[in-house]
Structure formats: C-alpha cells, structure tokens
Amino acid sequence: MSVHVEVVRDATHEMTEALRRLVPQLSTSAELPDQKVLHRIVGSEATTLLAARADGKIVGLLALAMFPVPTGVRAWIEDVIVDEAARGQGIGEALTREALSLAQAAGARTVDLTSRPSRAAAGRLYERVGFATRSTRIYRYTFGSTG
C-alpha cells in the first residue's frame, strides 16, 4: 500500500465526497460538509487541509490552522480522521508529521491540539509523534446557552 499526504488546494467532488465520508467518523453532530464548505476551507488563508491517499483513494484528512497573533504564529491541528477501514497503518501518523513540518516551516514554535481522553488511539498517536500534555484551562463559550 502506498500512502501519500497532500495539501488540498481545490474544492473537487472527490474531496467533497471524502469529507462527507470521513467527518461522521469523527463527529455525529457536525453538519455534513458540502462543496461550498470545502470551498471556504481551501480558500482560507488560515487553514491548510491535508488529505492522505492510499492506493489513490482519499482515506484520511487533517486540518491545520495557522494564524499570526502578537506573540507569534499559532498552529492548531483539528479534525484528524482516518477511514475506519484504513486505520492502524500509519496514516494518522503521516498526516500529523506532515502538519508538524508545515507548521515549523511557517514559523510556529508550538503546535496545539485537544483530544478527549476517551480517544485512546488518538492519544497514543499524538504522544508517539512527540506531543505532550500541558496544564491549562480549556474554555468554551457556546452561543445560545444561558450565561
């Protein structure tokens, strides 16, 4: 099996289909992305979408967000998803390593991500490639909730 990680530059039908197949494998509550959403992602200066192909088929994705703030360039990894049928072959690791290399090239000093403790495979993957947990408070404001 040959695995190849690439930057997604165009909102193709193939990539839209892949997003719609992969996103539910991460989140059952997220809306299914359509081509317009993909267009927005690939057109965003802040987001780099990576796709992994195995034997030609898109089997994984990762979104890397990078943006300048006064303290430097921030980099965040989001939405790491490998197709269930293609897991355990190093594809998640290949996506993550490519994201780290792009973030370093862009001048980021650190790369952040969050991952629920229940996502055991994801936690092992991130620690294997060198991520360490850090102590901080993760806040979220949800619109529509009573404050």
Binding to ligand COA by residue 93, rule CB under 6 A?
yes
Given a contact cutoff of 8 angstroms between Cβ atoms, the answer to whether 7 and 50 are in contact is yes
Given a contact cutoff of 8 angstroms between Cβ atoms, the answer to whether 92 and 77 are in contact is no
Q: Of 20, 33, 67, 90, which one interacts with ligand COA (CB under 6 A)?
A: 90
67: Cβ–Cβ under 8 A, 6 or more apart, which residues? 46, 73, 74
Q: For residues 32 and 68, which CB has a smaller minimum distance to ligand COA in the complex?
A: 32
Binding to ligand COA by residue 92, rule CB under 6 A?
yes
Q: What is the CA radius of gyration of the chain?
A: 16
In the block, residue with structure tokens 């629920």: 116
Q: Of 23, 38, 91, 108, which one interacts with ligand COA (CB under 6 A)?
A: 91
Binding to ligand COA by residue 88, rule CB under 6 A?
yes
For ligand COA (CB under 6 A), the number of binding residues is: 18
The whole-angstrom separation of Cα 67 and Cα 78 is 14
Binding to ligand COA by residue 89, rule CB under 6 A?
yes
Can you give the binding site for ligand COA, defined by CB under 6 A? 25-26, 80-82, 87-93, 115, 119, 121-122, 124-125
